[in-house]
A and B are shown apart, each in its own frame.
Chain A
Amino acid sequence: DIVMTQSPLSLPVTPGEPASISCRSSQSLLHSNGYSYLDWYLQRPGQSPHLLIYLGSKRASGVPDRFSGSGSGTDFTLKISRVEAEDVGVYYCMQVLQIPLTFGGGTKVEIK
């Protein structure tokens, strides 16, 4: 199985400031087609997860452009350019290159 490791575990942020979350995979997520098979999800408190980023860097429909994904191979980053109050919750990365699909342990973003 591909193991997904996220850091930090917890991230206190100040509204208006940037934030960055790291996700590392135990194997390369680079497909032979040149794309990275990685998604990012946000689970707000009391809600189900929703898709933010797919293919490592493409924003899902309706996702604000303050969210960006980058990286390749085994190292990926989710960045929020200017954190807003509605961005609090737990962020998960997920690899979709191979079965079993696996998630990172999550990064909890909270307002300072």
Chain B
Amino acid sequence: QITLKESGPTLVKPTQTLTLTCTFSGFSLSTGGVGVGWIRQPPGKALEWLALIYWDDDKRYSPSLKSRLTITKDTSKNQVVLTMTNMDPVDTATYYCAHRQLVSGFYWYFDLWGRGTLVTVSS
């Protein structure tokens, strides 16, 4: 059974760096055809994709946030870490990590999501 859980600070100050950890079980990020992504959702608003990392360490970022984001994995700990620099109140959101699965040899989807963690940016 695959599970994912996000953890990190609930409150950060403007200009600070946010570090979020996704701890997962039920799969390994050293296995082919697997990835983990981060998606966020401001209160009452729509979903926004942020970043992806794959089993082969291939990484993808949202171009609008690329300069502020870094995604890494620690396969020994079953963790994926997302850092976001220079936080601003507009970055207040629930941050989700999600398992990305390759199906039929060519298509990727987010089939399982964590419960999310709310991060508030305020002085």
Give chain A's interface residues, CB within 8 Å of chain B. 1, 33, 35, 37, 39, 41, 43, 47-51, 54-55, 60-61, 92, 94, 96, 99-106
Contacts and interface: CB of A to CB of B under 8 A. Distances in A.
B49 A106 contact: no
Interface of B: 37, 46-49, 52, 60, 62-64, 96, 103, 106-116
Interface of B is mostly: strand
B47 A92 contact: yes
> Interface SS of chain A: helix, strand, loop or mixed?
loop
A49 B109 contact: no
Nearest to A6: B46
A106 B112 CA distance: 19
10 contacts: A1-B63, A48-B115, A49-B96, A50-B113, A51-B110, A96-B107, A101-B52, A102-B49, A103-B47, A106-B46
Contacts of A105: 46
B46 A92 contact: yes
B49 A39 contact: no
A37 B113 contact: no
B49 A100 contact: yes
Contacts of B110: 39, 41, 49, 51
Contacts of A43: 47
B109 A100 contact: no
Contact of A103 (B49, B60, B64, B106): B49
